[in-house]
Amino acid sequence: MILGVCTNRKREFLDHELDEVDSGAWREEFSTVIGGDACSKRKPAPDVILKALLEIKRRPGADCWYVGDSTTDTVAAKTAGITSVFYNGADGNPPWLAQIFPATPEHPHKPDVVLADFRDLLSLVKGCCGSCLPVKPT
């Protein structure tokens, strides 16, 4: 499994944030890290996602997932041709989700999966590609 970070944040702020999480220990988990200033167009344009895929030598497809917490993330993922996983951190109910993802001609993009808890993401990953997950010593 290959992991990356794609964000609209400027790279300098992103680097600072990554350094703060577990004293920078997470950096080694990511094969690519793309800040919004690496491309001429920011999300909802798919440019940062497509740049990340290019760096890891992958083509867009359903087996590539983008986890995001905004409609902008969902639009970028769907426009890039990959699976959109929406983290519903605001704990929005189904009517709220239908409002922010109306599936109208003007706003056609909907996430492929909606998660309210990041623990569900691990279950989803294990269910889809459990055999490809690296085993880390505890």
Of 61, 49, 71, give the one whose Cα is nearest residue 4.
49
Range of the domain at 27: 4-132
Residue 138: inside a domain, yes or no? no
pLDDT tens digits for range 31-41: 999 999 999 99
Question: Total domain count for the chain?
Answer: 1
Classify residue 18 as exposed, middle or buried by CB count within 10 Å of its CB (0-12, 13-18, 19+). Answer: middle
* Helix ranges (DSSP H) in the chain: 11-20, 47-55, 71-80, 94-100, 118-129
Which tokens hold the place of 50? 């497509």
CATH of the domain at 76: 3.40.50.1000
pLDDT tens digits for range 3-36: 999 999 999 999 999 999 999 998 889 999 999 9
pLDDT tens digits for range 87-116: 998 888 999 999 999 999 999 999 999 998
Predicted pLDDT at 120: 87
Which tokens hold the place of 137? 């010593």
Residue 137: inside a domain, yes or no? no
Residue 116: inside a domain, yes or no? yes
Of 104, 30, 110, 123, give the one whose Cα is nearest residue 75.
110
